[in-house]
Amino acid sequence: MPLKDYTRRDFMKSIGWVSTSLALTGCEGVIEQITPKVPPRKPNIIFIMADDLGYGDLGCYGQKITETPCLDKMAAEGMRFTQHYAGSTVCAPSRCSLMTGLHTGHCQIRGNKEVKPEGQSPMAPGTVTIPTLLKKAGYTSGMFGKWGLGVPGSVSDPMEFFDEFYGYNCQREAHTYYPKHLWHNLQRVELDGKTYSHDLIMAAAKKFITVNKDKPFFCYMPITIPHAAMHAPKALHDKYRKMFPQFENKIGRYTGPEVQNPIAAFSAMVEHLDNGVGEVLELLKNLAIDNNTLVIFTSDNGPHMEGGHDPKFFNSNGPLKGYKRDLYEGGIRVPMIAWWPGTIKAGSLSNHISAFWDILPTFVQLARLDPPEQTDGISMVPTLTAQSKQQQHEYMYWEFYEGGGRQAVRMGNWKALRLNVNKNPDGPIKLYDLATDLGENNNIAERHPEIVDKAQRIMAQAHTKSAQWSF
């Protein structure tokens, strides 16, 4: 069945519908160290990361408005995760956590800090990242999309880590889909300001995959849809404008051209993203490398409220509370789909609690390398391959410096949250039981002082001070 013909009904039939509020597994301690089995060949690895896509923005996670048949089919052919978390609740620190395998109490970049005229706060020289590690295992690495972790030509330029780069170096420049320039390796590519950047980025990524099909490759695709400006291809935009005529008088304003009916534009953007993912999966099949390629799709944080987007209308955070910049579940829990024909069981569902800092040890193990000593992550190879018991986290930790400063800890089904940390580092902690209160509506801290004390100790232990980022 062609990807575009695959409907939400087909998805539900293929795996059986399960509510995405879903059961929660406990992880009060770390299971004994396990050496999971690794597939006999080093797989190609493609990591596709949407920008500000919410937990509820895909059909396979309950979305009822926007059509995402390709990602729904990817989930039906692969594994859908219900408890996967981004590295942070905004762009740059989430990407740093992903690249370095460290949570935001340890990683170098813990917030968005701008550098003029172009770029963000850089990582230090010699930073260990996924591509630098995979290079030791013979992987060719390419990045296509938005970087946000340095300055063009600096020690933290993408070309310090990847063999090829095409896209935005600066996340501020990525606020529009019609930029005046992109970057290819170290060369600035001048554009006319009328060309849709996402299509250029996807074309470059597909070319990289094709060129490197006969050797192990790592293709990192931090694409920009559906971030900020609601710029969408005209045909899809017109399709949804007919569906949502009540919003024709609404104007979306951000950077670049204003958008009439940004509600329709959001759905159009996400469907365009969905089409692109389908094209990547079809390319792998046509190149006959699909059975030796792991593809992961996820998002860098929860849904935004910018450029005229209305996450409430779309139920973009699903059953979760909070949005981008929150450490409630809606700001950090994200969709994740893993696809690897012949290795990952089709239509499988995982409640394993995982986060961006687990991606580095997972990829390193698949490449048959030892993980670096400095990592907060745990390999998810056992979950992906179902060949051995999965080691669990004792806890998960996040910190964020905007909005007064925030810390969050997850311990099994317990979720602890501290607000206004900048003013009061030892302030009160809210506590939620995610097993019975997924929406984090009932603070039960007073009833469980021993759990609150444990969370407070973890917050103190997991946070390390740095010159730029400290409460």
Beta bridge partners of 400: 406
Q: How far is residue 405 CA from its own chain's centroid? A: 22
Residue spans per domain, the chain: 38-393, 395-471
How does residue 20 score in pLDDT terms, banded at 50, 70 and 90? very low
% of the chain surpassing 90 pLDDT:
89
CA 2 vs. chain centroid, Å, equals 26
Dihedral sign computed on CA atoms, order 73, 79, 83, 84:
negative
Per-residue pLDDT at 371 = 83
How many CA atoms within 13 Å lie on the side-chain side of 156?
24
Determine the Cα–Cα distance for residues 23 and 336; give it in Å rounded to an integer: 16
Q: How many residues does the chain have?
A: 471
Question: Residues 436-454: what's their mean pLDDT?
Answer: 98
- DSSP, collapsed to helix, strand or coil, labels residue 48 as strand
Confidence (pLDDT) at 39: 63
Average pLDDT over residues 346-351: 98
The CATH code of the domain at 395-471 is: 3.30.1120.10
Q: How far apart are CA 223 and CA 204, in angstroms?
A: 12
Superfamily grouping for domain 38-393 = Alkaline Phosphatase, subunit A (3.40.720.10)
pLDDT value of position 315 = 98
**The pLDDT value given to residue 21:** 36
Kindly state the average pLDDT of the residues 44-62: 98
pLDDT digits (tens, 9 = 90+) for 242-295: 999 999 999 999 999 999 999 999 999 999 999 999 999 999 999 999 999 999
pLDDT digits (tens, 9 = 90+) for 420-430: 999 999 999 99
Per DSSP, the residues of 145-199 read: EE--SS-TTSTTSGGGT-SEEEEES-TTGGG-SS-SEEEETTEEEE--S-S-HHH
Considering only CA atoms, which of 94, 118, 92, 109 is closest in space to residue 183?
118
CA–CA distance, 170 with 192 (Å, rounded to integer): 18
Tell whether pTM > 0.85: yes
Query: Checking phi first, is residue 193 left (phi over 0); if not, alpha (psi -120 to 50) or beta?
Result: left
What's the confidence (pLDDT) of residue 373?
Answer: 87
H/E segment holding residue 350: strand 348-350
Phi, psi at 118, each rounded to 5°: -150, 130
